[in-house]
Amino acid sequence: MGTITMHVCADRLGGIGKDDHMAWEVPLEMKNFLEATENTTILVTSFTYRGLPESFVSKHRIIVYTRNPDEYVDDIYKGRIDNVISDIHDIYRYAADRDISVCGGTQLYKDAIDYVDRIVISRLYEEYDCTHFLPDIDFEAFNEVESKVHSCEKSNVKFSTTFYERF
């Protein structure tokens, strides 16, 4: 069985995005995210999938979380995505033989929380203009194993990254 890890970056107030895109550009946080999710299968909502840059889609195996699987037949056929799921429980079908990165957005974080083994959360120290927010997560069910403070020189942004594992 592979590991199911939730990856999220939130601002000081729990904001995670503006409309269909991120509300910030923090290259160091993005670099860390790309390294941490390398060689894993990315699970995202259809909404988040549509906002992903082509450079990311072409380099990853992607599963889309949607209530409308028929809309993605063409993308599966073209090899843009691996597959779709409509029932979050199906996450186990894919985690059987690979590591899964649960990469948002809001609805997926909410629905997948009971299935994740680990959480990697970056918290930006500042507040941004966001329309989407992190749902309530019961961190009591998780053990904090490591936390680091980072300073991104390129964007002049400070953030912490904390790693949790389910008890």
Nearer to ligand NAP, 2 or 69 (CB): 69
End-to-end CA distance of the chain: 17
Residues forming contacts to ligand NAP in the complex (CB under 6 A) are 8-9, 16-22, 45-48, 51, 65-68, 86, 103-108, 132
Nearer to ligand NAP, 164 or 167 (CB): 164
Q: H or E segment at 84? A: strand 83-85
Q: How far is the CB of 36 from ligand NAP (least distance, A)?
A: 12
Nearer to ligand NAP, 58 or 86 (CB): 86
Q: How far is the CB of 18 from ligand NAP (least distance, A)?
A: 6
Quick count: other Cβ atoms within 10 Å of Cβ 2?
A: 15
Q: How far is the CB of 151 from ligand NAP (least distance, A)?
A: 19
CB neighbours of 98 closer than 8 A, spacing ≥ 6? Answer: 2, 40, 41, 61
CB neighbours of 44 closer than 8 A, spacing ≥ 6? Answer: 52, 62, 63, 64, 65, 103, 104, 105, 108
- In angstroms, the CA 109 to CA 86 distance is 14
| Sign for the pseudo-dihedral over CA of 153, 147, 33, 104 | negative
Q: How far is the CB of 118 from ligand NAP (least distance, A)?
A: 15
Q: How far is the CB of 138 from ligand NAP (least distance, A)?
A: 18
Nearer to ligand NAP, 35 or 167 (CB): 35
Nearer to ligand NAP, 92 or 167 (CB): 92
